Amino acid sequence: MNEKLQAVRGMNDILPEDAARWEYLEDVLRNWLRSYGYRNVRTPLVEHTRLFHRAIGGATDIVEKEMYSFEDSLNGEHLSLRPESTAPTVRMAIEHNLLHSGGQRLYYFGPMFRHERPQKGRYRQFHQVGVEALGYPGPDVDAELLLMCHRLWGMLGLTGIRLELNCLGSPMERAAHRTALVEYFNSRKNLLDEDSTRRLSLNPLRILDSKNPDLQALIEDAPRLTDYLGTDSLSHFNELQEILSDAGIEFRVNSRLVRGLDYYNLTVFEWVTDKLGAQGTVCGGGRYDGLFEQLGGKSTPACGWAMGMERLLSLVEAEGHGLGSAVPAVYLVSQGEFARRYAFKVSGVLRACGVSVIQHCGGGSFKSQMKKADGSGARLAVIIGDNEALRDEVTIKDLRTGGDQLRLRLDVTGQAVMMKLHQ
C-alpha cells in the first residue's frame, strides 16, 4: 500500500545544482553548433517501432534487446521510445521534404531510451546532443563533423579524447567482406560463443564487435574490410585523413571499428577517453548514405554523430574549465512597507541590466532576510529600506568579501553591480 515511490531504475532526476551544470553545457554546445551553421530540430520521443527496425537493423543490440517497445493500448499501434535520433531525423526530413532546396545541417538535444544494465555512464534514459549533415556526400563534411568536435574539446578544456576512425566502404564491398567473414567463422565454428554463433547467420560483422576476451585472437585474424575496399571508398577515406592531418588532428585508423548500428557506410568514428572507466566512448558517428532510401526517401548522402551528455558532463566536471552555477548574483532584501513594493522596481531594473536576482519573498525581519541572502550563495545583497526607497536609492553589500556597504542611486546600480561582479 505504502510502497515508497521512486524514479524508474536507470532513469535519473536532475536536481537544481546539477541542472545548472547541464544548462551551462547546453548553452556552450548550442552556441558552438550555431557557429557551424547547424540548426535545431525536435522530433517526438515516441516513434513507430518499425522505423527503428528498418533503420537500425533487427539484429543489432539496440533493436534486439535495448528498446522500450509497447503496444498502444488504445489503438494497438506498435510504438517505441526512441533509442537514438538519427532514424527519427531522417524520417522527419523525408516526411517534410526538408531537403527540397539542398543540404541541411541539423542538430538535436534530448533524452534517448535504452534498456541496458545501469552503471556509471550508462543509463536507461540518457541524453544526447547530435548533428546530422543531410545531403552532403563528403568527405569535406565528414571532416567538418570531426573538426568541430576537436574544437569543442579545446573549448571545454578537455584533454585525452582520442579519435578512432574506420572506413566501412560501400554495401557491395561490405557484402564481399561479409562472405569472406562467414567463410572464416564457419570454418572455426567450434571457437565461437553462443552470441557470436547466433550473429554468424544474422549479422556476422557484429562478431567483430564482441567484447568476449576469448574471441579476440580469432577476431584479430579475421579477414579485414580494408582489403575489400575499392578506389572510390579508399579515396574518400584518404581525403578525409588528409583534411584531418592538415588541421593537426591526431587519429588512429581502427579497422575493427564497426559501430553498433547497421546503417553506416564509408566513414565511421568514435571519440574515446580513458578517463571514464568502462564507458569511454564520448561520441560516435559516421556516414549513412543508404538510410534515406531504406526509409522510403530519395537516395541522399548524409552523416552525423551523437554525443552522450552524461559522459561529456562527467569529463567537464573532472577536468573542464568549470561549469555555470545556479546561484544568482544578487539577493534582494527589503524592509518596510514602501521598500517591499519598491523592491519589484529594483529587481526589474537589475534584470534589465542582465543581473540575475532572487527577490526575497515572505517578509520577515531584516536579520532573517540577510541570513537567507547569505545562505543563497549570492555574491551581493542589494538592500532597500523605506529610507532608500523614498530617495530612489539602494544599498549594496558584498556578501563574500565583506567590506564597506555602498549606497547608490538606482539608475546607476545595474552598472555598479556588473562592475563588482567582474572584479
Does 114 engage in binding with ligand ATP (CB under 6 A)?
Answer: yes
Residue 308 binds ligand ATP, judged by CB under 6 A: yes
Residue 88 in contact with ligand ATP, rule: CB under 6 A = no
Residue 106 near residue 38 (C-beta atoms within 8 A): yes
Cβ proximity of 397 and 380 under 8 Å: yes
**Which member of 32, 107, 126, 342 binds ligand ATP (CB under 6 A)?**
126
Q: Judge whether 243 and 139 are in contact, CB under 8 Å.
A: yes
Among 18, 23, 64, 116, binds ligand ATP (CB under 6 A): 116
- Closer to ligand ATP by CB, 28 or 306: give it: 306
The three cell numbers of residue 409 are 542611486
91, 105, 199, 311: which one binds ligand ATP (CB under 6 A)? 311
Amino acid in the structure at residue 72? D
| Range 216-275, binding ligand ATP (CB under 6 A) | 260
By CB under 6 A, residue 287 contacts ligand ATP: no
7 vs 419, beta carbon nearer ligand ATP: 7
In the complex, what is the shortest distance from the CB of residue 382 to ligand ATP, in angstroms, rounded to a whole number?
42
- Cβ closer to ligand ATP: 68 or 184? 68
Question: Which of these, 98, 93, 100, 106, lies nearest to 39 by C-alpha position?
Answer: 106
By the rule CB under 6 A, 206 interacts with ligand ATP: no
User: In sequence order, what are the beta bridge partners of 110?
Assistant: 128
Total residues at interface with ligand ATP (CB under 6 A)? 18
- For ligand ATP, the closer CB: 280 or 336: 280
Tell the smallest beta-carbon distance from residue 33 to ligand ATP (Å): 16
178 contacts ligand ATP (rule: CB under 6 A)? no
**DSSP E strands, 273-374:** 281-287, 302-308, 330-335, 357-359
Nearest one of 286, 296, 285, 304 to 105, comparing CA atoms: 304
Question: Residue 283: what are its φ and ψ, rounded to 5°?
Answer: -150, 140
Determine what percent of the chain falls in helix, strand and coil, rounding each to the nearest 5.
Answer: 45, 20, 35
**CA–CA distance, 258 with 347 (Å, rounded to integer):** 56
Catalog residues that contact ligand ATP under the rule CB under 6 A: 84, 114, 116, 121-123, 126, 128, 260, 279, 281-284, 306, 308, 310-311
